Amino acid sequence: MKQIENRQSQFLDGTITDPLLIFPEGTVTNGKFLLNFKKGAFYSLKPLKPVIINSVLNENFHLSIGCTGIFVHLLRTLCYLYHNVTITELPIMVPTDYMYENYSKSHPEVKDKWEIFSIVAREIVARSGNLIKSELTLRESIVYENILNNKGHETKNE
């Protein structure tokens, strides 16, 4: 957390000019769902700029094909002649006392400011990207996807 906070501070004070890119879900999703955000980008309570990166090749294939090995992912990605990537830049978000006070009233169980900041950011990203918020963890989504994939491979004898 300290390294991320130091890097954010260096960018904000102009010491470095390359922004820090963090995937707040801790992974990539299939372009339809948005998992809960992790602590990393929000812990320092510094301003951030949400960006939605969506790379859909067709309805049946998305670059973030889910729970698969890197080789299969790379092979499927390289099989396409071109990739259509949409990048949506949202306005810079700055955590405010107003945000904390209002969210705390409606959700008294959430105590940490970083968590409120992450929840508000996730809500904005979900609405802006027309994404469905999923409450599953990455591990739960892997188990779920494996179950779905195995159902398609069942034989009549099973």
**Are the CB atoms for 52 and 87 separated by under 8 Å?**
yes
Q: Considering only 12-26, 33-47, 54-68, 73-87, which range has the smallest mean pLDDT? A: 54-68
Q: What ranges do the domains of the chain cover?
A: 2-141
Buried b vs exposed e over 38-48: b needs ≥16 C-beta within 10 Å? bebbbbbebeb
Q: What is the pTM of this model?
A: 0.73
Give φ, ψ of 144 to 5 degrees.
-60, -45
Neighbour tally for 102: CB within 10 Å: 13
